[in-house]
Structure 1
Amino acid sequence: MSVMQAASDAVAAPATTAPAGRRRRPRLLWRVLPPVGVFALIIGAWYYISYGVLSQSRRFLLPPPDQIIEVGFGDPKNFDALMRGLGLTTEVALLGLAIAIVVGVGAAVLMSQAKWLELSLYPWAVILQTIPILALVPLIALWLGFGFESRLLVCVLIALFPIIANTLFGLQSADAGMRDLFRLHGAGRATVLFKLMFPAGLPAMFAGFRISAGLSVIGALVGDLFFKQGKPGLGILIDVYRSRLQTEQMYAAVILASLLGIAVFVFFGWLGRQVVGKWYQAGRG
């Protein structure tokens, strides 16, 4: 009887694995088809507005996508200018984000170690977030001029607060019972920080990194728009194309800036899944 049972199990085993493979395909389609469908609707509405709503004399307000690709990206001279602008904007955004991560995580760690530090520093971080960055631009220009450093500072100021807030929340979310257990075994502050608080805070920290990743691109564009000296980034190009009514080139620059923000956001989402997943899997092991 046992031999017959084993044989029947061996025959039935492949049948149980096949439906699992088939189930992955509908799930993948379910994740891909909705955004692709929305994208198709947007492109369709775009063409309808360009050709059905706007007259030919006003079509420059929203040129159709094929003209944007042809004029904005197809012209070698314009494409070269866009790539150089993208390079500078990417440099400012990534460097500003890196500085914001170092400063933000460092400030959150300090505030998590002493309540009086949190009460002293966190209100100023909130005030810095609530001050309109455009009100600080003239002061930054007076202090640092209109070059690369001013653009970088604007980028850091815009991207800083979400990192501080999310990192502090994550570090403080460590289980109180585990803190008591660590202290009971004589663990020091550094041990509690790196072996308890950081593992507990990583999901919130990477959520802050993803938010600030998009904000860093916005900061780089804002810095370009207001500090118009030096090499032109995408922000300067957008403003120049706007003033010349070169809307195809302007939309191409806007699309590149959007793709840069999406790429940085997706990268930090992927990095967060890798780091957080490995950290927690190691902890479970």
Structure 2
Amino acid sequence: MKPQKPLLERQSAISPARPSGFARQLLKAFLPPLIMGGVLFCLYVFVRGNLEPHRQFLMPGVSDLWSQAFGIAAVREELLERSITTMSIALAGLGISIPTGIFLGIIMFRFYVMERAVFPYLVALQSIPIMAIIPLIQSALGFGFFPKVLIVALFTFFAIPTTLLLGLKSVDRGIIDLFRLQGASWFVMLRKAGLPSAAPALFAGLRISGSLAVIAAIVSELFFLSGRGGLGQMLMNTKIDFKYEQMYAALTVASILSICVYVFFNWLGNRLFSQWHESARRNK
């Protein structure tokens, strides 16, 4: 009988799996959404084909979108300008909700009484339709830039402290005990153990909030029609003027912006956690 090699020797003989090439990673990243986009496009064509001929203008075709919207230089310039306005509102709202949410999540984790006091109001804020309190915001703050930013912050706030609090509560108790044996302060444990362990959960909340930010900015513009607006105002104006091709163009650009914000936070999370966290390794 042939003797077997020791276990350690057999394990060392197994070469680690080679990382995927750049082309393969691009294929894995873009092929599934492209396939899903093709399915949705076929569904759109099917629904449009089943409309009466006099109603097909409500769902313009690809050629109409190009000839009446994307193919016109003035429309492209307007889409660019309004996209910048919408993104400025969305990013300003995230600039408020992200640091405020992170701070509140840490406070709730540090003081259990604060979690019990604040969490019901977070749930209530999420449960109350934001559009129902927009008239109150209009009455109190007017129709300027800041009310729109505040609406975005309200839309995107809930996911940030809740995911961070969940991540902080999921830190391994053995690691916490090890820091305590070394006499580390609570702030040191938070900085070196809590936040790194909770960061993947936090970035899940950031992906949700980021994709909602553009939607919230457009919703805010639907109620604040004064001044130079963004894509939301363009959607309203083109619908009133029966320019459905330009309305669908604005809707397409808004969807692309929302997806780009989501992809950015997803890419940033993978860059930060790809070397050590399982959630990022599964994407490879």
1:237 and 1:250 in contact (8 A); partners too: yes
Which residue of structure 2 lines up, in the alignment, with residue 256 of structure 1?
253
Tell me how large the CA RMSD over aligned residues is: 2.6
Which residue of structure 1 lines up, in the alignment, with residue 194 of structure 2?
197
1:42, distance to aligned residue in structure 2 (A):
2.9
* Corresponding position: 1:276 with 2:238: no
Of stretches 111-120 and 270-279 in structure 1, the one that deviates more from structure 2 is 270-279
TM-score between both structures, scaled by the size of structure 1: 0.85
If each structure's helix is expressed as a fraction of its own residues, which one has the higher value? Answer: 1
1:171, distance to aligned residue in structure 2 (A):
1.3
- CA offsets, 1:228-259, max 9 Å, x none? 11211101110111112211000000000000
Shift in alpha-carbon separation, 1:138–1:26, aligned structure 2, 3 A: closer
Which residue of structure 2 lines up, in the alignment, with residue 42 of structure 1?
40
Q: Which amino acid aligns with 2:44?
A: W
Q: Distance in 2 between matches of 1:27 and 1:196?
A: 31
Runs (5+) with no aligned partner, structure 2: 1-14, 279-284
Shift in alpha-carbon separation, 1:162–1:117, aligned structure 2, 3 A: same
Runs (5+) with no aligned partner, structure 1: 1-15
1:279, distance to aligned residue in structure 2 (A):
7.0
Shift in alpha-carbon separation, 1:228–1:23, aligned structure 2, 3 A: closer
1:148 and 1:230 in contact (8 A); partners too: no
1:31, distance to aligned residue in structure 2 (A):
5.7
Q: Distance in 2 between matches of 1:217 and 1:24?
A: 30
Shift in alpha-carbon separation, 1:134–1:34, aligned structure 2, 3 A: closer
Q: Distance in 2 between matches of 1:155 and 1:26?
A: 37
Q: Percent identity?
A: 37
Shift in alpha-carbon separation, 1:181–1:158, aligned structure 2, 3 A: same
- CA offsets, 1:50-81, max 9 Å, x none? 3x323332111101022112212111222221
Which residue of structure 2 lines up, in the alignment, with residue 106 of structure 1?
103
1:269, distance to aligned residue in structure 2 (A):
0.3
1:199 and 1:279 in contact (8 A); partners too: no
**Which of 199, 203, 223 is the aligned partner of 1:226?**
223
Q: Distance in 2 between matches of 1:141 and 1:268?
A: 31
Q: Distance in 2 between matches of 1:90 and 1:197?
A: 32
Q: SS of the counterpart of 2:158?
A: helix
1:111-130 to structure 2, matched below 5 A, reads 111-130=108-127
TM-score between both structures, scaled by the size of structure 2: 0.85
Shift in alpha-carbon separation, 1:280–1:146, aligned structure 2, 3 A: same
1:46, distance to aligned residue in structure 2 (A):
2.9
Say how many residue pairs are matched. Answer: 264
Which residue of structure 1 lines up, in the alignment, with residue 240 of structure 2?
243
Q: Distance in 2 between matches of 1:246 and 1:122?
A: 45
1:28, distance to aligned residue in structure 2 (A):
6.4
Q: Distance in 2 between matches of 1:214 and 1:21?
A: 30
Shift in alpha-carbon separation, 1:46–1:271, aligned structure 2, 3 A: same
- CA offsets, 1:117-153, max 9 Å, x none? 1111121111111111011101100111011111000
1:199 and 1:280 in contact (8 A); partners too: no
Shift in alpha-carbon separation, 1:145–1:71, aligned structure 2, 3 A: same
